[in-house]
Amino acid sequence: MRKITYAEALSEGLVQSMERDPSIFVTGIAVDYPSGIFGTTTEAYKRFGRARVFESPAMENALTGIAIGAAAMGKRPVLAHPRNDFMFLAFDQLINMAAKWKYMFNGNAGTVPFVSRAVIGKGWGQGATHSQSLQSVLAHFPGLTVLMPTLPEDAKALTIAALQHDGPVIILEHRTLYGTEGEVSEDFVPAPIGKARVVREGTDITVVGTSLMTLEAMRASEELERQGVSVEVVDLRSIRPLDEETILKSVAKTGHLIVADTSWELCGVSSEIAALVAEKGFKSLKAPVKRIALANCPAPVSFELEQAFYPKASTIAKAALATLGVAKSDLGLIDVEDNFKGPY
């Protein structure tokens, strides 16, 4: 099978969906730039032009309201945010209108099938207001579907699925992933929403990861395998709905759990999964659950502090050895240097 990048996979899923559904249009800041949201909207603009891919001013809440109205009238808008931090300005429309639309009108006002894409994660010194990951905040509200594809294959398949879904969908894309490559089918096939993926099977410890942290877990698991530790890595893919079955099944097999998330620990995704296993899988646990998340402070700007701020593969590997009660050993150079170049 051919290999393409995460960004190319997102683009292909969008273009193929637009070919099949003329009601889909794309808007947001910089979507019609030559670099269009890290290249993910460039091909759509070339193929469909300004009639279906067009720039918008920075008016996040108003534009989200317009998108909800368009969706209610039969369109399928895709609203792209170069930073998910900008979505704070759209929360009124997202939470009080889109998420509740079907519930408030008892289904008599139709549905609002729109997709909001947003970029998360570390960059190149973007600092406190441009480096956040809002999955737990968004997933808190019933009515919103929140997806976090990690692999290029899922970036395409979940884009297709989101553009076929009846309700509002948030897709959070980590900026470090855009250049990663993977096998992606040329076929037009959606992925199941709400289903996690076991990306590596193991028997000693489970690592449940979100987005980039799943890749860090994969790097950690390769080193740990050389040291005789078998790691099962679960890529969550969907925050809401949450695939409880896959998580509990994996923990029942390994008896140990680490949750690695791209956001903070308190009231976060890692807390939710730890609570899930405590409530429904406690008898499987042979040691306390370990959560790996951001340091309890806003993201720093300086390069050195930023490097220390974010958990890495070595963070996960050390936590796995500690959870299993294995003596620390030389982990080698398993951390990958971040060479991401912005802006968008």
As annotated, the active-site residues are: 130
State the DSSP string of 85-154.
GGGGGGHHHIIIIITTHHHHTTTTT-----EEEEEES--SS--TTSS---HHHHHTSTT-EEE---SHHH
Q: Is 304 helix (H, G, I), strand (E, B) or coil?
A: helix
Q: Please, which residues bridge with residue 146 across strands?
A: 170, 240
**In contact, 17 and 155? CB cutoff 8 Å:** no
Sign of the torsion formed by the C-alpha atoms of 4, 200, 260 and 161: positive
The whole-angstrom separation of Cα 92 and Cα 79 is: 15
Q: Which of 323, 340, 332, 339 is nearest to 219 (CA)?
A: 332
The whole-angstrom separation of Cα 203 and Cα 306 is: 34
Q: Is 264 helix (H, G, I), strand (E, B) or coil?
A: strand
**In contact, 175 and 119? CB cutoff 8 Å:** yes
The whole-angstrom separation of Cα 210 and Cα 265 is: 13
Tokens of 101: 């639309």
